[in-house]
Chain A
């Protein structure tokens, strides 16, 4: 009954997304791409952080590992990032499983899990910033390829191919999430989030299922790193790794609704325009006041908006809808 309700809506949304590049170019397409990208990263994070409730503030690590693996393999060995991204994903999953195993084996939960993932993010960022092979703090530029073969090397001169790539990635991940949500895995992850001890007494092997979610999450999110590297043609540790970017990944799911299928994407589509609008307004204000002293004001506006959302919608936008629906049913 529920799915019948959703299908026409999803179809319409799909068509809108497919035709969007016909009407939007340049700046607007850029915003769409970034929003989809953050939505994709948020949806990957949602597998462990949202459904299973294990809040990780270290997922930037896996994005960075994806980006660096495919980029280094490409620039040193000429391996196409289309293959390199899978190697990056396997590496990210291996690291994710390693840290996950240590945490879950020794029953590290809640705030302590969060602290360990933060430490992981910083360790990797600092290592990458101090090793010349990884480009250190200068970062890495990707060698540019021109001509008809560029596409085979994940390089495009225009924006629209990137738009369709990230659109397909997001749609694919939402499909994976949706299948998972309605399977035994989804039920078990939600139960672990609800109460781990009670779940174990019902036969849920909590550490095994948390590891599974961690592995999938870090595997898929690494693809987002390769995408960024190919889109920007430049990567730097502090752009993708470390606490700062890890927090940015988590914002979209928090705003949209953690542990909901569409929450992270919805959150990203609110956050990215919000950031752009607050930047525009700051610029306007700056010009009308003839001052230069407003640097960073857009971040303050953005921050205030964020606080308001968290204060009034602690379960995210979709969480709020769900609560209203529940009240209505009763």
Chain B
């Protein structure tokens, strides 16, 4: 672990919304090539953390380093250009465009040529096995298709770090397994992954490391095997049933 390169370093991030404190000084380290998961009850501050990393919220305190460079307070588009991709918990497809065009918008992050963006988009679509979906108008896509599209679109920006916000939510168990395979494939292709997830089966199969957040604080960080045995995590999030695993 120690020899791995630090990709994302989050240093004492605090975020207040008026009187409400969403993050109370969170530290997080994501190393190159790993899959790291953030879990925790609703309202714990997971999505706020993603919004702070991707520049939608400016942190009240603390700093964020990406590849050693300070990216705190940069606008979302600059952060995307520096190599952090992101999907949204509630998918946001461009319904006025075809799925292929959706992916091409992502690909245009690294080129000005529409022709090249087309090639790149087709490669990503093939890589994820979505060839059959590109002809369906975006508004007619199922939830699973939309999640895949969201993934393809951010992957087309050529990120070195991908933040996935509940990509499994709303999928049935078979679809979850497909998604797990896709995420593993993306990691094997050299993209580091940080995910927020509630589907424990996915978290436990995929993650190299798990972070548990509660009330804006990190209460656990470690391997996926020991997280299910940690008494505090069981108390605030998992509940008794997981302690038998």
Q: Give residues in A with beta carbon < 8 Å to B.
A: 53, 182-184, 187-188, 190-191, 193-195, 197-206, 259, 326, 329-330
Contacts and interface: CB of A to CB of B under 8 A. Distances in A.
Contacts of B88: 197-198, 201
B25 interface: no
A182 B102 CA distance: 14
Contacts of A200: 75-77, 80
Contacts of B97: 187, 190-191, 194
A194 B81 contact: no
Contact of A202 (B80, B96, B137): B80
Contacts of A197: 56, 76, 88, 92
B94 interface: yes
Interface residues of B, number: 36
Contacts of A193: 94, 96
A203 B157 contact: yes
B96 A206 contact: no
B54 interface: yes
Interface stretch (B32-40, B106-114, B190-198): B106-114
Contacts, number: 90
A152 B200 CA distance: 77
A203 B56 contact: no
A142 B74 CA distance: 52
B86 interface: yes
B94 A190 contact: yes
A134 B236 CA distance: 71
Nearest to B87: A201
B104 interface: yes
Interface string B91-124: 0111111000110111011001110010000000
B101 to A, nearest CB: 7
A202 B93 contact: no
A199 B105 contact: yes
B109 A202 contact: yes
Nearest to A323: B137
Interface string B143-182: 0000000000110110000000000000000000000000
B104 A205 contact: no
Most A CB contacts (10 A, CB to CB) among B93, B94, B135, B137 go to B94
Nearest to A329: B135
The 10 closest A-B pairs by CB, nearest first: A194-B94, A203-B109, A198-B92, A203-B80, A200-B76, A195-B92, A205-B77, A191-B105, A326-B137, A202-B106
